[in-house]
Structure 1
């Protein structure tokens, strides 16, 4: 009877058991997109940073007064036009108007020009050119000294210098050299001989240019024959005299030196000629 009662109690316990747990009802499968979103939300990416906290930020101005001076002068050079000190201090974020040491160094710089009438500061370039006429005058002055002008230097003084130089080249006023790689302007020289009809120097006609370029130099054999037919001789080249083999000398030969004889018997001077050899008769 007890066995039957235990079996009935076990069956009743099974019927009351709740199978709604996650073991009996697993969650629905996630789609690939949902799974990627969930994984990305769980894994937070660390933002990348290139800041090196052990070094100060590179502002270009620096903290040293000389570094700030170079920065201010370079900015004045790139600006090109005269500036007020306050405007330069605001743009460069430098204490030019409050730091006395920096201001004195800036004002006394050899490349800084101060106009006391307008209280403006400007950069002193190597050449003071602002138009085409002054540019040609500077090129003429430099060419007379025996040299040309660098296009890069002229461009620093006047940004429109390369365009003006190309116009002067078309007008025949200057000669220009260019780089072989990309044909950029390099040096400029003044053209002293102008191609005009009065003074000569005009362009040679194309017919004569074609005739000149059509001429061909004969080879060495034909050139010698033509010289012989004309009764001429070819100039002899410099002949190199062959040097004989170097022979090593055995030992060193020194020149024989005549040893000076010092006369010590000075008391016999005037009585006996000490420079002669005296031989006693009967002795050899």
Structure 2
């Protein structure tokens, strides 16, 4: 029994000795590990902290790239046009392209960007370009630009004149008037009190919504005594008025179409199928079975 254990021990030792050079060779390729210093200096700690700060600064921030920068202006020419129109609307006076670029902080932009902005402004429907009268041929930076509102009305007289020149009976939306006349609500209230315009208002806030021209000469004061008599008079009901008009052979304008008596719809007649006609008899040997019995049908 001891001899068997001795053999197993010797075999194990021989395997360990044969595997020792292989393990040492593998470890020889490993990078050497430097022993840590017993007491790290303050400089090493500062370098580690600086490295952590650099890593933290490199972390990406949540930046919304679809919005303009913190200055409030877009970087593209088409985006900047919106800010230019708001700028011209607020100033309400002609501005040169240099003043517009200065407002956008684009005075140091490249030449192509400046030319693109000027070209778009000259073609924009909300901007009117005023050429320089002293130049025969206009340059890209000559002339001035001013806001062009949807309706060129900026005072009460302008509004009355605009409504009187209209060839149709359509009203004018107040929101279109505000495009060139932002503070038009108070003048509209004054014109309505003078019976010079007709105004429809919103139910919620009572704000002016649409305006029409009105003739003040058609407005007449009614005697208060007559108004009291009018309100005391008992008017017939609508049904009585409709009945009296119909009896007189007249068609009342206040007749409710939903109350009209509609004729009952006629029932659809079901189509009867025509009796099937017998075709050419080819089975002569079955004539006694193929007789026509349609006359016996009820």
Q: Is TM more than 0.5 here?
A: yes
Q: 1:178 Cα shift? A: 0.8
Q: Match for residue 155 of structure 1?
A: 178
Q: Which residue of 1 aligns with 2:205?
A: 182
What residue is the counterpart of 2:127 in the other structure?
A: 112
The structure with the largest helix share of the pair is 2
- For structure 2, the 5+ residue unaligned runs are 1-59, 134-142, 252-258, 276-298
TM superposition score normalised by structure 1 = 0.56
Higher relative contact order (CA 8 A, sep 6+): 2
1:229-257 C-alpha deviation (Å, 9 max, x unpaired): xxx6798985422124334323379xxxx
Contact 1:125 1:157 in 2 (8 A): yes
Counterparts of 1:216-235 in structure 2, within 5 Å, are 216-218=234-236, 223=240
* SS across alignment from 1:157: coil
Q: Which residue matches 2:35?
A: none
Aligned length: 193
2:16 corresponding residue in structure 1: none
Aligned twin of 2:10: none
2:102 match = 90
- Aligned counterpart, 1:205: 223
Change in Cα spacing, 1:133 to 1:54, as seen in structure 2 (3 Å) is closer
Look at both structures and tell me which one has the larger radius of gyration over its CA atoms: 1
Seen in structure 2, the aligned counterparts of structure 1 residues 61 and 207 have a Cα distance that, compared at 3 Å, is same
Name the counterpart of 1:136: 160
In structure 2, do the counterparts of structure 1 residues 209 and 104 end up closer, same or farther at CA, with 3 Å as the change threshold?
A: same
**CA RMSD between the two structures:** 3.6
Indicate whether 1:240 and 2:262 are aligned: yes
**TM-score when normalising by structure 2:** 0.53
Question: C-alpha distance in 2, partners of 1:186/1:63?
Answer: 37
Residue 203 of structure 2 aligns to a residue in which SS? coil
The CA distance in 2 between the partners of 1:179 and 1:246, in whole Å, is: 50
1:194 paired with 2:217, answer yes
Q: Distance in 1 between matches of 2:84 and 2:274?
A: 72
Assess if the C-alpha contact under 8 Å between 2:202 and 2:208 holds in 1.
Answer: yes
Alpha-carbon displacement from aligned partner over 1:61-99 (angstroms, at most 9, x marks no partner): 434332223332343234332223222212223458942
- In structure 2, relative to structure 1, the CA distance for the partners of 1:193 and 1:168 (3 Å cut) is closer
Question: Could you tell me whether the CA contact under 8 Å between 2:194 and 2:216 is conserved in 1?
Answer: no
- Tell me, in whole angstroms, the C-alpha distance in 1 between the residues paired with 2:270 and 2:84: 71
